[in-house]
Amino acid sequence: MNMHQFSPRRHRGLLLATLALLIGGTSWVVAESSHDGKPSVNVKVDAVPLPRSDDTALSFSPIVKRVTPSVVKVVTRERAKEMEVGGGLPFDDPAFRHFFGPFFGGPGGQRRIVRQPPEMGLGSGIIVSADGYILTNNHVVDDADSVKVTLSDSRVLTAKVIGTDKKTDIAVIKVDARDLPAITFADSDDVQVGDRVLAVGNPFGIGETVTSGIVSGTGRSGATGLDYEDFIQTDAAINPGNSGGALVDMRGRLIGLNTAILSRSGGFQGIGFAIPANLARHVMDSLVTTGIVVRGFLGVTIQDLTPDLAEQFHLKSSKGVIISDVTPDGPASRAGLKSGDIVLDYSGRPVSDSRRLKFAVAATVPGATVKMRVLRNDQDEEVTVKIGELPGEKQHASISGGKDDGVLDGVEVSDLDASTRNEFEVPARVHGALVTNVDPASAAAEAGLSPGDVIQEINHQPVHTADDAVRLTEHSETRKTLLKLWSHGSTHFLVVDETDGKPSS
C-alpha cells in the first residue's frame, strides 16, 4: 500500500521481545544509493576489513570513549487519547460485568469513553551526521507526538521524525544542531561469526551502558515478523531502552542498529538482533532524500534450490534460486524470464538463496537496468532486466515536518490501486487519495473523516494521488480545510477546522 502521512504517527518503543524460529543464512545486502548515486546523508564510512587475530584486548575503554558520544537517549511522549469501551460481547455477559461492570459500561453493557493518560517511551539513537541526523528504530518513535534527544553532553534537543520504514523497523530523526560527533560506518557485509562486538545504548533509562560479546550469527530472519530481516545476531546484552543503539566492531565502527531480542521472559537471554549498517544506510538515504522508501520489483515468485529440486532439474549444484512463477507483464516477464529458470547471478553477484535475491532486488533503484545470469534447459544465458517499483511500497512519514499543528495533522493517505480499492470497496469510477488512518484525537477525526474515505478535492483543488493531497496541505496558510469526499457510496463536502479544535461542516 502506498502510504503517506500528513503527520508522523509514532508510539513509544521499548525493545521488541518475540518468540520465533531462527533461520540461518549469510548476510548479503546491496547498499546502493537510491537517488542518482548520491548519498543523502554525509556519513563517515570505513570499509577496510577488520584485521583478525588471536590477541585479546585488555580493555575496551578506548573504543567506548570514541563511540559513546555518538549514541543518544531518545524519549518519546504520546498524548492522552480517548478510547470507547463496553457495550459488546463478551462484555455484555453478566459474568464480565460482575468483575468489570463500571469500566465496561455496567449493567446493560452501555458503551462509554475512557480517557487514557499520556504515555512515555524510551529508546536509543545513533548520530550519523554532524548536522543532526540520527538513526533509531521505527518502534521507538512510532505514534509519538513528541521526541526528545539527550546528547552525551546532557543537552536535551527536540527531534522531528524525517521518515520511518516499518518493513525494516528503521527510522530517521533530526535535531537542529551542528558539529555533532557522528559515528563511522563499517561495511557490515564484512562481519563474520565470532567477531567481537560492543552494544551501546540506554537500557531502562539508567544512562549510557556498554556490553560486550561476539557475533553469534549473520543473515538471521524470521525473528520479528518484519518483511525485510537480515539480522546480525549477538550475545552482547541488549535490554529495554537499547533499541536503536549501536552495535560496533573493535574499531568502534557501526556494524548494526540494535533492534530486538529473542526471549521467553521478556528480558535478555543471550540472543539479540541488530539491523546491518549497510541496510540501515540504504533505507536512511531513501527516507532523507524523499521521505519514502522505494524498493525494486522483479515480478517473480522464487524459492531456494534444494538438492531434490537440483536433481530433478539435472543440476550438479543446489546453488541458485529457482523461479516458480512470473508476474504477467512484469519486469521479469518483459525481459523474457520464465518459470523454471535458475537464477545464478544478479548484477554481477552470485545468488545462492532466495533471501539474497530478494534483498538485492529491493535495494535496486527502480528503472535501473540489471544483468542476470540464468540457467535454462542446461544452457547458461544472460538476461537484461529493467527493474520496476515494488507495488504498494511508497510510504511518506513526516509530511508536516514533525509539527503537531500541521494541516490535516494525524491523517494518513495512500494512492488508490487494485488492492486498496478491493480492501476499502472503492468503485473504479472514484479517483483521489484514500484515507487509511486518522488519529482519533485529531481535528480531522472530530470533523468526521475516517479510514475508507476518498479525498477528491482539497480547497477546490483536484486530488488524483496521495502526493497531490500532501502537496496541497503542506504549505497551507489557513487552518480551515475544505475537503470533497467520496464516502460509503456518496459524495459530500467537509470542513476541518484546526484553529481551535472545533470542526464545522
Please, which residues have CB within 8 angstroms of residue 476's CB and are 6 or more apart in sequence?
Answer: 407, 459
CA atoms within 13 Å, Cβ hemisphere of 178:
0
C-alpha span between 264 and 26 (Å, rounded): 26
Domain 296-389 bears CATH identifier 3.30.70.1560? no
Predicted local confidence at residue 403, as pLDDT: 37
- Tell me whether the CATH fold assigned to 296-389 matches the one assigned to 411-497: yes
C-alpha span between 63 and 234 (Å, rounded): 18
Cα–Cα separations (whole angstroms), residue 458 to 269, 291, 327, 437, 481: 52, 22, 36, 17, 7
Q: Within 10 Å of residue 499's Cβ, how many Cβ atoms?
A: 11
Residue 302's Cβ-count burial label (10 Å; 0-12, 13-18, 19+) is buried
411-497 CATH fold: Pdz3 Domain (2.30.42)
Predicted local confidence at residue 8, as pLDDT: 40
Q: What is the DSSP string of 278-345?
A: HHHHHHHHHHHHHSS---EE--EEEEE--HHHHHHTT-S---SEEEEEE-TTSHHHHHT--TT-EEEE
Q: Within 10 Å of residue 173's Cβ, how many Cβ atoms?
A: 30
C-alpha span between 383 and 387 (Å, rounded): 12
C-alpha span between 324 and 340 (Å, rounded): 6
Predicted local confidence at residue 1, as pLDDT: 46
Predicted local confidence at residue 83, as pLDDT: 55
Our separate counts of H helices and E strands in the chain read 10, 32
C-alpha span between 121 and 139 (Å, rounded): 10
Strands 184-186 and 44-46: parallel
Q: What is the largest CA-CA distance in the chain?
A: 75
Please, which residues have CB within 8 angstroms of residue 267's CB and are 6 or more apart in sequence?
Answer: 17, 239
Indicate which residues carry an active-site annotation.
139, 169, 243
Mapping DSSP onto H, E and C, the string for 185-204 reads EECHHHCCCCCEEEEEECHH
Give me 25's grid cell: 543464512
> Could you state, in order of their start, the residue ranges of all structural domains in the chain?
11-75+123-289, 81-116, 296-389, 411-497
Signed CA dihedral, 466, 288, 275, 156: sign only: negative
Residue whose cell numbers read 542518482: 36
Predicted local confidence at residue 82, as pLDDT: 55
Q: What is the DSSP string of 445-493?
A: HHHT--TT-EEEEETTEE--SHHHHHHHHHT-S-SEEEEEEEETTEEEE
Give me 292's grid cell: 519514502
Predicted local confidence at residue 490, as pLDDT: 82
Residue whose cell numbers read 558520544: 69
pTM greater than the 0.85 cutoff: no
What is the mean pLDDT for each group of 10 consecutive residues in the chain (505 residues)?
Answer: 46 35 33 51 81 63 92 85 53 44 48 60 91 93 88 92 89 94 93 93 80 90 76 87 89 92 72 91 88 86 85 80 88 92 91 86 90 89 91 46 53 80 82 86 85 90 87 74 86 78 40
Class of the CATH-defined domain 11-75+123-289: mainly beta
Phi, psi of 217 (to 5 degrees): -175, 165
Predicted local confidence at residue 86, as pLDDT: 52
Rg for the chain, CA atoms, rounded: 25
